[in-house]
Amino acid sequence: MPTPELRIRSWVRATNDELRGGLLGYLTLDFGPLVLDSLAVRRTADGRVTLSYPERRDRAGRRHAIFRPRDDAARRTLERAILGELALQQEVEP
């Protein structure tokens, strides 16, 4: 099975208040026949740029991912591809 094409559909930059809290913006992706919405791009406390995936909470308050990478290797591959396409290295550096 061929790997579906990954393409950035939209990028919405965070507000100044959100930027101070580490949120850089939101992405919507086209991944083959799927549209993946509400990915957050964040700067971690140690300065890395990373992706956060949407989640919901159940009645007990437990978090459940709506979609996510299968494992850490997939996460790293996706972050490289997405952040590279966004050219975030220039857009989010202080």
Each residue's pLDDT tens digit, 8-30: 999 999 999 999 999 999 999 99
Q: In whole angstroms, how far apart are CA 14 and each of 10, 19, 74?
A: 13, 6, 26
Note the pLDDT of residue 85: 86
Note the pLDDT of residue 91: 53
- Burial 35-65, CB ≥16 within 10 A → b, else e: ebeebbbbbeeeeebebeeeeeeeeeeeeee
The identity of residue 47, as a single letter, is G
Q: What are the pLDDT digits (tens) for 29-45?
A: 999 999 999 999 999 99
Q: What are the pLDDT digits (tens) for 43-75?
A: 999 999 999 999 999 999 999 999 999 999 999
pTM for this prediction: 0.82
User: Rounded to whole angstroms, how far apart are CA atoms 40 and 53?
Assistant: 7
The domain over range 6-87 is classified in CATH as 3.30.1120: yes
